[in-house]
Amino acid sequence: MSGYRKNKLLTAWDIVANVENWWAGWDLRLRRQARPELLRLRNGVSLICRGGTRDWDIVQEVFFVGAYTLAMDFLRRQPGDPTVLDLGGNIGLFSLLAASTNPRCRIHAFEPGPPNHDLFESNRLLNPHAAGRITLTREAAGGESRETEWFFDAANPGGSSLFAATGEKFPVKIRAFREILAEIPGEIALVKFDIEGSEYELLESAPADFWHRVGAVVIELHDDPRSRSNSEKLLEMFRRRNFSVQHENAGCHFLKRET
């Protein structure tokens, strides 16, 4: 994602306006302290953010700038107990935002990398109002089930991926998307994809009934690691399956299935 504030005065205003213990936000963003900080947001969400990384930028995009405005407006209007899939959970920010937006939704989150998964789990437990509605699995979603290596980017943990050439390596499990869907019955209100290039492999192998079960998708597109496709082709595939396409606030696309 991009679009986080670079002006220090606007950043300071964002911190005071959105963070109850604003001094911790100042240490992370303005003083650039390297230690982790516990942030208590004014919307009721608490989270640990790693200093010296781009964690803060994602906090700012998700909670202050409104990177998922269209997706959250859609989720807020869903009846019953809507199901949400968070593929590429990172440290849990999207899941916590979704849980706060719709207090009835149930979230299935997947994050394969141990450093991100473990912090996601800590953030989940920090929020009792949401913890019981978020199921977190330490796996990646992909085209085929297998074991592989995941590369951790210490400066930009959210950009860690299966396809990097550098960074600390961790063995991880990939589970076929069709297997994940088989374990989640019924309609899925919203699916979030931020899986650093794995979206191409995953969507190519998605079962046919996937397109009819999902109400909306929010996706951050990356280059195809195999150079066989591109973002425009992927969006066109969604359009052919009767999804409208809109731009979100910070580099994502919101796709809504039209009835």
Q: What is the 3-state secondary structure (H, E, C) of the chain?
A: CCCCCCCHHHHHHHHHHHECCHHHHHHHHCCCCCCCEEEEECCCCEEEECCCCCHHHHHHHHHHHCCCHHHHHHHHCCCCCCEEEEECCCCCHHHHHHHHHCCCCEEEEECCCHHHHHHHHHHHHCCHHHHCCEEEECCEEECCCEEEEEEECCCCHHHCECCCCCCEEEEEEEEEHHHHHHCCCCCEEEEEECCCCCHHHHHHCCCCCHHHHEEEEEECCCCCCCCCCCHHHHHHHHHHCCEEEEECCCCCEEEEECC
| Residue 31 pLDDT level (bands cut at 50, 70, 90) | confident
Each residue's pLDDT tens digit, 3-18: 445 677 888 888 999 9
What's the mean pLDDT when you consider all of the chain?
A: 93
pLDDT of residue 5: 53
| Domain spans in the chain, listed from the N-terminal domain onward | 1-63, 66-257
Checking if the pLDDT of 2 tops 50, the result is no
Give the predicted TM-score (pTM) of the model.
0.94
| Residue 158 pLDDT level (bands cut at 50, 70, 90) | very high
The domain 66-257 is placed in CATH, from the list 3.40.50.720, 3.40.50.150, 3.40.1130.10, 3.40.50.10860, at: 3.40.50.150
pLDDT of residue 202: 95
- Which of these ranges, 77-81, 96-100, 208-212, has the smallest mean pLDDT? 208-212
Q: State mean pLDDT over 31-44.
A: 92
pLDDT of residue 7: 74
Each residue's pLDDT tens digit, 46-89: 999 999 999 999 999 999 989 999 999 999 999 999 999 999 99
Checking if the pLDDT of 250 tops 80, the result is no
Backbone angles phi, psi at 197, to 5 degrees: 105, -15
